[in-house]
Amino acid sequence: MKQKTFKDYGELSVETAEQIADIISGKPDALLCFPAGETSLGTFRHLIDLNKRRKISFEHCRIIGLDEWVGLGEMKSENCYSFLRSNLFDHINLMEKNICFFNGESSDLAEECRKSDEFVKEYGPVDMMLLGAGMNGHLGLNEPGTPFNLWSHVTDLAETTKLIGQKYFSRKVELYKGITLGIRHILEAGTVILQISGSGKAEVAERLINSKTDPDFPASVIKEHPDSWLLLDMEAARLL
């Protein structure tokens, strides 16, 4: 795991986007994976700018969804896919046919897992996976205790995730399950970039750096990856 600390969130976002842009420039048909989370928004804005200025093109890139809430019902318009569409997909030259995303409203979630696994098998492994770490160390919706050898799977959400996840919705929703790419996808990805930003995540960053690799803290698995990057801003690095 390689580690870099940047002076602030803005610099972290720009440098992350530039690193992703280099991967796309080197492989125009790269398979990419992005998280639906606040930390990635600055990176998305810079990627959109690079695309508009024709520094990079997403025309031939493929996107695999990282994770999705299950069973939102009428609130599905505020799910992970909608977050990524409104904050990234709708603003770049990405072709709809090149997107594969979990349908958390499906009556056959096992088929949704199979579909995503097959997409990665056909076009992958994932060339670039951008991740954020949850307060409990989850990656995607791989909650603490998740075995490292799983592909896509349905997961019971931890209480921390149920609580913090409310911030993504306009009103209170019942969150109980998720569907996610597995840790095995992360380990087999070409490049993994984990962003941690803000003073509220300082303890997460400190635990990641100072702990052993442990399924009870899923973020620690990136230490096992041969080309993983931990990118922090100064606030997240305040305990280091």
> Length of the chain, please?
240
Q: Is 225 a catalytic residue?
A: no
Catalytic residue selected from 51, 67, 185, 235: 67
Indicate the angle between helix axes 41-52 and 9-26, nearest 10 degrees: 50
| 136 in catalytic set | yes
Catalytic residue among 18, 87, 105, 136: 136
- The strand pair at 62-64 and 67-69 is best described as unpaired
Instruction: Note if 156 is an active site residue.
Output: no
Distance CA 2, CA 84 (A): 27
Candidate list 68, 112, 127, 143, residue with the active-site label: 143
Burial class (CB in 10 A: 0-12, 13-18, 19+), 2: exposed
Helix/strand/coil for 4 = strand
Residue 2, strand partner residues: 229
138, 153, 185, 225: the catalytic one is 138
3-state SS record for 49-84:
HHHHCCCCCCCCCEEECCEEECCCHHHHHHCHHHHH
In angstroms, the CA 68 to CA 59 distance is 24
Separation CA 210–CA 83 (nearest Å): 32
Catalytic residue numbers read 67, 136, 138, 143
